[in-house]
Structures are given as structure tokens and as C-alpha cells.
Amino acid sequence: MARLKRITPAGIPQHIIQRGNNKRVCFTSNADMKAYLKWLKDFSDKYSVSIHAWVLMTNHIHILCTPKTDNGIGKMMQSLGRMYVGYFNHTYQRTGTLWEGRYKSSIIQSERYLLAVYRYIELNPVRADMVISPSEYSWSSYNFNALGIVNDLITPHQEYLALGDSASERNAAYIELFKIEVDGELLNNIGGSINKGLALGSDAFIKEIEALTKVRVSSRKAGRPKKNVG
């Protein structure tokens, strides 16, 4: 399947994944993760991108965010990647590429899939058998979204804010979401959409995005996306 043109329309959430080249480690210490998050904060602010959820794994990252400008995500990821690769190569006395090509992204229909993508991202360490509960993993947004631990990187999405009238109500409702096992087909759809650069949403939503952007964001072939891990 030919690579689709990337689109980042303002005001519509996107799920981003970027992997280490050949699945190699891109974070070897807590200091690496702290550095990455600092620059994610700096460049998300600079390019007006709201970060809703994230996880840093040893060899890849996931980010759920909403740009306020049409090209904000691309600028953020380009600047972030350049800064972090420079830091990583200098720190570990290496040269060459760190990431596996350009990042991948998927446009998300908020009211139908957004909170599922929150869970998909924050459950990554659980699916990888690194921890039993997402609260045990320090390098994700779960402890803010579920436990209210202060994190100035996060801007809650409206779908998250609708979980309750207060922070404590939202935290409690969010924890309840994680007590329900994520449907396997939904997991496959989320993973398949981001790996192929497709939109995740209803037929009506996809048609609306394609009419808005004049870019195809749906698969030409019928059938379910292949199972994805990561």
C-alpha cells in the first residue's frame, strides 16, 4: 500500500507513534526520558499542540494530541526528533539515525474513539508485561489522568473533562474505564489505523475528513486491519 499523505487539520486529535530504528532502544535511562519529555513540553507549547496522553517505552513512543494549527504536529515532531537525536548521539557517543523513519499518525474521531486511544496508549506497559497495572509505570500520562498527579505537559481533552464535574470525579471515572478489558477488535483497529496512517472513526467522520482535506484517510481494501503489537 502506498504511503498516504500526512494531514494534521487543526482541532482534530491525532494518535502518534514513533519507533526506534530496527526496534532498537531509544531510551536507556530515566535521564533520557526526562530529556525527551522536557523537549516535548517545549515544542508542544511553541507549536500550539495540546498533549492529552503519552507513554515512553524503551524502543518507541505514543502521543495523543490535538494541534491548534494545521501544521503544528509536524513542526513539533521534527523539532523534537532533531533535538533528542542530537542529545542521544552526543550522550552515547554514536552517530546516525535513531528513529525508524518518519513518525506515524492517525486522525481520531473524538466522541467515538478518543478515550479508547487514551487506554490503548497507557496500557502499553501492561500489554508488554512490564507491569501489572498502568499506575506502576512512571513514564506515561496515566498517573495524571487517573490519579491526579500534577503534570504540566498534559492538557485534558474535552472528552476527558466530560467524565466528571471535578478532578476527583474525573479521576474516579477514568480508573473505572480501565476495569473494562479493551476489546480485541478495537485494539486491532487502533493499531492498524496508526500503522497505515488512516483515520479512526465512523464512515461519516472519514468522509468529512476526506472532504475537508482532499486527502484519502481510509483503506481502499475492505477487511479488518492486521493485528498489531505496540
Residue 107: what pLDDT? 93
Q: Which residue has the higher pLDDT, 203 or 167?
A: 167
- 67-92 as b/e: b if 16+ CB within 10 A: beeeebbbbbbebbbebbbebbeeee
Q: Which residue has the higher pLDDT, 222 or 9?
A: 9
Residue 226: what pLDDT? 47
Q: Using one digit for the tens of pLDDT, what is the confidence trace for 102-117?
A: 899 999 998 889 999 9
Q: Which CATH superfamily is domain 14-213 in?
A: Transposase IS200-like (3.30.70.1290)
Residue 146: what pLDDT? 97
Residue 140: what pLDDT? 98
Phi/psi-derived region of residue 197, left when phi > 0, alpha when psi is between -120 and 50, beta in every other case: left
pLDDT band at 160 (very low <50, low <70, confident <90, very high): very high
What are the sequence ranges of the domains in the chain? 14-213
Residue 224: what pLDDT? 47
Give me the helices (H) in the chain, please.
30-46, 72-91, 110-122, 124-127, 142-145, 158-161, 167-177, 184-196, 203-213
User: Which of 53-57, 202-206, 216-220 has maximum average pLDDT?
Assistant: 53-57
pLDDT band at 223 (very low <50, low <70, confident <90, very high): very low
Q: Which residue has the higher pLDDT, 215 or 225?
A: 215
Residue 2: is its pLDDT beyond 70? no
Residue 36: is its pLDDT beyond 90? yes
Residue 209: what pLDDT? 81
